Amino acid sequence: MLDTAPTTVQSADIHTIKRWVDANEILLVDVRETAEFDKEHIAGAMLLPMSSFDAGIFPVIPDKKVVLYCAIGKRSEAAGKMLLNEGHTGAFHMTGGLSAWKAAGLPIEEQFLPPSEQTPAPVFLCPTAGAVLMQEYLQPLNITLPVLAQHTGLSVNTLDALVKGEQAMTVEISLRLARYFSTAPDFWVHLQLDHDMEQARHHLGQEIRQQITPRCAG
């Protein structure tokens, strides 16, 4: 008998997911928006807001289950359907969402501010591409900048400026790093784009919202 791909999103209850979290068996993905995540979230969750969720570039995690969650379970189920449509069959969504998680008394991380602190410090979730290169690749693999330069054809000065955040990721650098580390060709420039977009939203978002009124269809 031939195996058939599921046509509906798999779901899991909060207690099952809590066991998976404790056993480090899953990648937990929060699909709420940044402001919601900053206020409270499940420890260790990755933020991929539904407003910018792209199932077409969602990574394949062969050794872990992927569990999506939101506030009550609607957005996570929708994100799961998007993944199914792109051929991802191993994702689950949390029934009841964070509301059910909290109602059961399960732990969350919250942002607490002193009463005297009027404006919270911004929480930035998108590091520079250079920071990811250093923290996720060079340090764990014990690769020095001269060695990386030798294998990629990039200068040590360029790589040094990149990891310090003084040099932006370019298409050429992205292609060279992608070839060496066997990543998608646009992986590194997407990291740069996510970082730049987050910074621009922080510095210019309010001004743009005040200056521009959305055009309504019809």
Domain map (residue ranges) of the chain: 10-110, 129-205
Number of other CB atoms surrounding residue 206 within 10 Å:
10
7-21, 79-93, 121-135: lowest mean pLDDT where? 121-135
Phi, psi of 94 (to 5 degrees): -85, 120
72-94, pLDDT tens digit by residue? 988 899 889 988 888 888 889 99
For the whole prediction, is pTM greater than 0.75? Answer: no
Q: Which residues of 160-191 are buried (b: 16+ CB within 10 A; e: fewer)?
A: eebbeeebebeeebbebbbeebeeeeebbbeb
Best CATH choice for the domain 129-205 from the list 1.10.569.10, 1.20.272.10, 1.10.260.40, 3.30.1490.190? 1.10.260.40
Q: Evaluate whether 10-110 and 129-205 have a shared fold.
A: no
Q: Residue 51 and residue 84: Cα distance in Å, rounded? A: 18
Q: Residue 162 and residue 171: Cα distance in Å, rounded? A: 13
Bridge partners for 65 per DSSP:
26
Q: Residue 209 and residue 100: Cα distance in Å, rounded? A: 34
Amino acid at 38: D
More confident position, 116 or 165: 165
Query: Under CATH, which architecture does the 10-110 domain have?
Result: 3-Layer(aba) Sandwich (3.40)
